[in-house]
Amino acid sequence: MWSVLFILLPISLLAKSSFITPMEYSSSLYKNPRGIGCYKCHGEAGEGKLVAKYEHKKEQKFFIGPPINSIDFNQFYRALNVRKNGMPRYFLTEGEIKALYFYLQEKKKGSGANVK
Ligand code: HEC
């Protein structure tokens, strides 16, 4: 419960000042995080995605964005603060990372499904 509040509070404050709901704010961040949208590699709801198939030395290879909607917040946070293979470095603030995490959890629950 604590952790939910911890995540929601700053987002709702942010959202209030710009007249959008927390879900709208975090959804737009997921799609346009000052860089390539997360959904392009991780899917609309962070369910993971096959981005490309290619051949390397006659071997079929896949470029896959792993699912990111079932990991805990610490793992999520850490992943966004280290260099990842195949993923751009974003330099997001802590609040933005929380918003992204919030978005994926809400999507998974099915709430805010109407937010595009
Ligand atoms: C160009 C494709 C691409 C984009 C865009 C992208 N990612 Fe990733 N992401 C990856 C790949 C590939 C990995 C796996 C990296 C590895 O295994 O080292 C990954 C890993 C992750 C992980 C770690 C998953 C785990 O199981 O530990 C998280 C969290 C994550 N991405 C979140 C995001 C978020 C949030 C965004 C948007 C701000 C984003 N990614 C944008 C390709 C991408």
Does 12 or 67 have the greater pLDDT score? 67
Ligand 1 geometric centre to CA of 48 (Å): 9
Q: Which residue's CA is the nearest one to ligand 1's atom 35?
A: 38
- pTM greater than 0.85 (yes/no): no
Long-range contacts of 10-17 (CB under 8 A, 24+ apart): 10/95, 10/98, 11/95, 11/98, 11/99, 11/102, 14/95, 14/99
**Confidence tier at 110 by pLDDT (50, 70, 90):** confident
Contact indicator for 38, 46 with CB cutoff of 8 Å: yes
Residue 70 pLDDT > 90, yes or no? Answer: yes
Q: Which residue's CA is the nearest one to ligand 1's atom 23?
A: 79
